[in-house]
Amino acid sequence: MEIFSQIADLQKHLHGLRRAGQSVGFVPTMGALHQGHLSLIEAARQTNDVVVASVFVNPIQFNNPSDLAVYPRTLEADGQMLKAAGCHVLFAPSEAEMYPQPPQLRFDFGNLERVLEGTFRPGHFNGVGVVVGKLFNIVQPDDAYFGQKDLQQCLVVRRLIRDLSFGLRLHICPTVREADGLAMSSRNRNLSLAQRSQAGFIYEQLQYTKQQLLQGGAPQAIKEAVVQAFEQQGAFRLEYFDIAETETLTSIEALAGLKEVAVCVAAYLGNTRLIDNLVIEL
Ligand code: AMP
């Protein structure tokens, strides 16, 4: 596996590969890698000749400075995991390399960034848009791989690709979970043992919601029951729990006419913010 920290060196390397007719698959990450990330590498390996991963903790997508401060950074272990997973190229730039000056460009993704994560993380999706757009320009992949775990991010990236005509295919890959259903996340490392044993509750509530929806339950009543269950459980501070339309993530009140819905949740467990979702076919 080749490792680059400079944009120009990476581009030179990829230019050579592309001229040799190799297709490029790209997996952007913020590091502290786990099996969820590696599933994206595996998906890329199945479609592309060359797999490029990036590890960059993007400061401009953190609206909360203390979240950025405690975000795990494990570059050496990440490199080893990527190599073992068959990744060909790792791009791990410094902040100065990515942002020699603070970027002036601003994205507004409309309603998509005014719901769910957008409500609680002002400026987050602008930061995602800037870094993903920049990385797409740097890597110029044929295919890019993102996790459904961050569903709203996937929809924002899809808009970015369409609005700026990036010539690449977006692949949205399934969420990889721990045995108790907890969605794998770099932030899970910050949970205490006691918190880790409680964290499966989020997935239980998603499963409960799925059952209720498939039995024809009314979204509002289900939402109220889940909010109450979180209150009774006590360990979590729920930011949002919503049943939403899958393209726009706007909240829905009735299931009539819908083929699928997204159930989306964000909650703090101690100081750790966890998000998850299920897309449910009705
Ligand atoms: P992050 O390092 O958190 O920015 O994530 C990098 C990519 O990995 C994003 O596309 C995430 O959606 C994806 N990802 C994170 N966790 C998981 C997971 N548990 N399963 C599948 N993909 C994931």
**What pLDDT, in 10s, does the model give residues 45-97?**
999 999 999 999 999 999 999 999 999 999 999 999 999 999 999 999 999 99
| Average pLDDT of the chain, as a whole number | 98
Gyration radius of the chain over CA positions: 19
Model pLDDT, residue 127: 98
User: Ligand 1 test: best mutation among 67, 75, 149, most atoms within 8 Å of CB?
Assistant: 149
148 C-alpha to ligand 1 centroid (Å): 8
- Non-local (6+) Cβ contacts of 111 within 8 A are 248, 250
In the 8-state DSSP scheme, what is residue 177? B
Among the listed residues 273, 234, 275, 274, the one whose alpha carbon sits nearest the alpha carbon of residue 263: 275
Confidence band for 199, pLDDT divided at 50, 70 and 90: very high
Residue 236: pLDDT band by 50, 70, 90 thresholds?
very high
Give the confidence band of 38 by pLDDT, cuts at 50, 70, 90. very high
Beta carbon of 54 within 6 Å of any ligand 1 atom? no
How far does residue 150's CA lie from ligand 1's centre (Å)?
7
Which atom of ligand 1 is found nearest the CA of 174? 21
CA–centroid distance, 216 to ligand 1, in Å, is 31
Q: What is the mean pLDDT of residues 102-106?
A: 97
Q: For ligand 1, what atom is nearest to the CA of residue 184?
A: 19
pLDDT at 73: 97
Q: What's the pTM value of the predicted model, to 2 decimals?
A: 0.98
Residue 263 φ then ψ, to 5°: -105, 120
Atom of ligand 1 nearest to the CA of 33: 2
Rounded distance between C-alpha atoms, residue 216 and residue 207, angstroms: 14
Residues taking part in catalysis: 37
d(CA 282, CA 280): 6
Query: Which pLDDT score, from 0 to 100, does residue 50 have?
Result: 98
Residue 254 alpha carbon to ligand 1 centre in Å = 30
Ligand 1 pocket check for 78: Cβ under 6 Å: no
